Structures are given as structure tokens and as C-alpha cells.
A and B are shown apart, each in its own frame.
Chain A
Amino acid sequence: MTIGSMIGDILKSFISKPDTEKYPFESSEAPEHFRGMLVYEAEKCTGCQLCVKDCPADAIEILTIDKVNKRFVMRYNVDRCTFCAQCVLNCRFNCINMSEEDWELAATSKKPFVVYYGREEDVKPLLKKATRPGEKSAPKEKAAAKD
């Protein structure tokens, strides 16, 4: 029967540094297999649409620009994605992966949440089409090969 059984903890904490991480001024690294945002490489894609079929949140769409020459563009809704990595598992050509660095995905408007992956010349007309009258700028685009 002790009174004040946590006294050891209390005294030890008083003289050592607090355990809180002062985010966002200091932030720790994400580990190796962290599931951040999707990254898609259009060159390897064959357009099989297995990733679209099994997505639980309907976050991916593969738009076919040119079926014969295998030019595809992916429209990725970041705000619908649940980061489950089922699409990564389904893809047999390793063209979808999850990034380890892009996980701070907060934004103040809806626009950054629709991401187009693909070649420059394929994405531009889509972006122009996506800009509806009244909107000032088109949704963000990402270049095909990152880092």
C-alpha cells in the first residue's frame, strides 16, 4: 500500500526534457514504408485499370489519351484517398507507389486536391478543359517523373 506511487516518475520528469515534439518547428522523419501520397509514372502504365477497380474510395481515374501508344493520364483525388495501398499491390508493372515524404497534405481550398499525373503534353489540354468559367486557375499538375 503506497501513497503516491508515481513519485519517481514525477521527479524524473521534472529534471528531464518533456516528451512533446514541438511540431511544426521540429518534425521527425517518416519511416521507410510510410504510406503517403500516391506517385504515378505514366511510362510504365499499360492501362489495365486494376487499380481503379479495387479502390475503395474511387479516388483514381485513368484517362486514356492514346491506347495504341500507351499514353495515359491519371486523375487522383487526394481528398478521397484512404491511403490503403491496394492499388500499389494490384499494379503488376510497379507504376504506382506511395511517397514517403508527401504526407503534409492540408490545404485551404479544394484545388490542390485534384492531381493529374502524366506527360506534359497530355495533361495540358485536360487542365484547360478542367478550368470552368469563373475559376481563376486550373487544378495542380505534377510532372511525370519526380525526384
Chain B
Amino acid sequence: MNNLTINPIVALLVFPGGLSLLAFGLIYEYVDRKLVARFQNRIGPRWFQPLADFIKLLAKEEIIPTGVQPALFVILPIVALAAALTAALYVPMFGFQASYGFSGDLVVTLYLLSMMTLCIGLAGANTVDRFSLVGATRALTQLFSYEAPFLLAMLGPAIAAQSWKISDINAIAQTGLWNALVQPFGFVVALVGLMGKLELPPFDSPEAETEIVAGALTEYSGRGFGLFKIGRDIELVIGLTLIASFYMGGIANPIDFLWKTLVLLLVTAALQSLFARLRIDQTVGMWWRTGTIVVLVQLLVIIIGQYFSPVVQPFVQKLIGG
């Protein structure tokens, strides 16, 4: 299946990367907050609230605390945002063909998405504030714990499609059964791993408001804080797109993109409001025990299935085609 293609420069700056990605990040943040509010029986913000927050944060003074490396302090939010924006180039955003895809870009995208957590960890370690140090430690601990299962879960559809290129995986996922049905464990681990990556509750121990004020970002204010926040929103969009294109039958056009990511967002919002916050040692324990084993079992099943594919394929064809 061919997705539409766009001139690369336009794709980089305006659509679907760049400005429109920022806009979509804000819209998705609004939908997420509104859904969580509705689940908690309250009204929630109005549609322009995330935009208003962003503009307000950009307008505030950025205070550089004493004892930090000033250059690092200012650069880190910019690097995080740049990494998030760059990751969008390889993913089929909004149903259009990925603008700069190449073979192996799955690994690059996943690394770029982890840059944000690394930047947060560095930002926290940069200061002398107690809360930031504890928050940075927790952020990096969480990074080490969910990253392996998440990568392995992303690998499942890649193995099934026999390719490292996201566009190819997207194209192949559009044929046949949805991967969410064929590889259910991988789907669950991928979705929950996305929540861990974005530090959404119940995995928000690195920025636990009632324990360590704001975690690693305690000292940030104004522009730096706004850039971190919008970087996180963009990661939400990209993560949802990745999971939708891998597991929910590929993204063929914008309508497809919209409804699939919104359904995933609904499930994510429900999961956010159901659980109490997990302590950092409980998070690590859960991921390294349950998460990794589950996804390894899943991969084993896929590999065995691929091995026996010539034998099994006719049966499966009969089942689907029938």
C-alpha cells in the first residue's frame, strides 16, 4: 500500500513534522487531560488550555539557579525537543509516508525517543537541589527498567515483517490480521511501556509531586520547562503512532491515524486513572520480572512461528481467506 508523500523540506518544517507536530502534541495533551478528568467525574480543561500553558511558560522568566552548569542547563531542553522532533521524520505521521525513512530507522527512532529521558536525567543531575538528584536517579532507573521490554515489544512486528524499516513494517502490517491479535502480549507490553517512557501515572515516580516536588525538573521554569513539556507531548503522539502502526494494522491515511491513536489514547487515559503510583523499586521489579519474561515468551513464539511458517502458512491462509 502506498501512502502519500510530501516534499521533504515541507515535511521537516511544517507538515507533518515541525509546526503541525507541535500543534498536534498540544491537541493530544488536551484530549488526554480531558479524558482523565472525565474518568474522575470532573470537567477538565478547555481546548486551548495546553496552548495557554505553553505560551505562559514561554513568557516567564527563566531562572538559572546557582551551582549549575549554565550552558548545559539551557541546552538540555532544546536537545530533548530536537530529538523528539527528529524522531517524527521516520514515523508515518498523520498517515503520510515517512519523509526520510531508511533501513534500520527503527533503532534510530527508539534511541531518539529515549533521548528525552536521558536529558531529564542529566538535567536533574546538573543541579545541587536534593529533589532533582533523587528525581534524576529515579528517572534513569526507570529508563533502565522499561527500555528492554519496550524495545523487545517493538521488535516483535519487525521480526514478523522481516524488516528494520518502519515504513516497511507499516506497509506489511496493513495486510493480514492485526498484530494486536496475533501478538497480544507484545501489544500490552508496548502500550504499558509507552506509559513508562512518558512517565505517566502509575509510573510517574520520577516526578512524584507529593514526594519530590517535581523530580528532575524542579529547578526548571519558564522556557526550559515549556520545552520539556512540549517535548513530552510530541513523544506521546509519536509513541502512539508507532504502536498503532505496528500493532493495529498499520496507518494508511489520516482518518486511520486519527481513530487508531485516539482509541489508544482512551485506553491509556483509563490506565492512568486506575492505579496508585508505583514506587520505583516496585516499577523495576515489575518490569524486570513480569514485563521482560512476557515479551521474551512472545518473541519466542514469533520466532518459532517464522521457522515453521512454510508449514503453517497454508493453514492460516485458509483460516483468514477461508
Contact = CB atoms under 8 A, between A and B. Distances in A.
Interface of A: 3-4, 6-7, 9-10, 13-14, 16, 18-20, 22
A55 B42 CA distance: 40
Contacts of B42: 18-20
Which one of A3, A7, A14, A16 has the greatest number of beta carbons of chain B within 10 Å?
A14
Interface string B265-284: 00000100111000000000
Contacts of A10: 39-40, 270, 273-274
Contacts of A6: 273-274
Interface residues of B, number: 12
Contacts of B273: 6, 10
A3 B270 CA distance: 13
A6 B43 CA distance: 19
Contacts of B39: 10, 13-14
A7 B44 CA distance: 19
Contacts of A7: 270, 274
Contact of A18 (B41, B270, B274): B41
A19 B38 CA distance: 10
B274 A13 contact: no
A27 to B, nearest CB: 16
Contacts of A4: 274-275
A19 B274 contact: no
A13 B43 contact: no
A91 to B, nearest CB: 43
Contacts of B43: 18, 20, 22
Interface of B: 37-44, 270, 273-275
A68 to B, nearest CB: 61
A19 B43 CA distance: 8
14 contacts: A3-B275, A7-B270, A7-B274, A10-B39, A10-B270, A10-B273, A13-B38, A13-B41, A18-B37, A18-B38, A18-B43, A19-B42, A20-B42, A20-B43
A138 B38 CA distance: 49
A20 B274 CA distance: 21
Nearest to B37: A18
A3 B286 CA distance: 14
A3 to B, nearest CB: 8
A13 B273 CA distance: 12
A22 B42 CA distance: 11
A20 B40 CA distance: 11
A13 B40 contact: yes
Given A3-B275, A7-B274, A20-B42, 9 more contacts: A9-B41, A10-B270, A13-B39, A16-B41, A18-B37, A18-B38, A18-B41, A18-B43, A20-B43
A10 to B, nearest CB: 4
Contacts of B275: 3-4
Nearest to B35: A14
Contacts of A9: 41
Nearest to A6: B274
Contacts of A19: 41-42
A24 to B, nearest CB: 15
Contacts of A13: 38-41
B19 to A, nearest CB: 32
Nearest to B38: A14
Nearest to A17: B41
10 residue pairs, one from A and one from B, having the closest CB atoms: A13-B41, A4-B274, A10-B39, A20-B43, A18-B43, A19-B41, A18-B42, A20-B42, A14-B38, A18-B41
B294 to A, nearest CB: 15
